[in-house]
Amino acid sequence: MRISVTARHFKASDQLRSYGENEVKRLKKFFDGIVDCEVVLTQERANRIANISISVNSHKFVAAESSENFYKSIDLAVVNMERQLKRFKEKLRTKSHRAKEQEVVSSEVEENEFNEES
């Protein structure tokens, strides 16, 4: 997983950059297929905004959160991203599960039709 941390309108400390990278690395345990991750930290007046975008195969997920400090914004954005990845993973599981069920049902119908013809 490739991770990039970008700071807009301020210079981010090494501690803040490493914190952002470490928090995003935790997302790997929720979904293995993460290819690219970008963390953009923006400072606007009193708001500190953390914007996380993740590329998974052909899908892209984005989570943006703002609060009074960057650490809290990063934490909130990571929680939001965890939720999105869990939902996506569950969606993939149910799709593949339904496809397997349809294969089993269609093979049973074909067998019944074959037996009735005989």
Residue carrying the six token digits 């400390």: 13
Global confidence as pTM: 0.79
Contact 46, 66 (CB under 8 A): no
Comparing CA positions, the residue from 35, 30, 40 lying closest to residue 77 is: 40
**HEC profile of 37-64:** EEEEEEEECCEEEEEEEEEECCEEEEEE
Q: Could you report the per-residue pLDDT of 7-37, keeping only the tens digit for each?
A: 999 999 999 999 999 999 999 988 888 999 9
Q: Report whether 24 contacts 39 (CB < 8 A).
A: yes
Topology at the third CATH level for domain 2-88: Double Stranded RNA Binding Domain (3.30.160)
Per-residue pLDDT tens digits for 46-72: 999 999 999 998 899 999 999 999 999
8 vs 27: CA distance, rounded Å: 23
Chain length of the chain? 118
Pair of tokens at residue 40: 């953009």
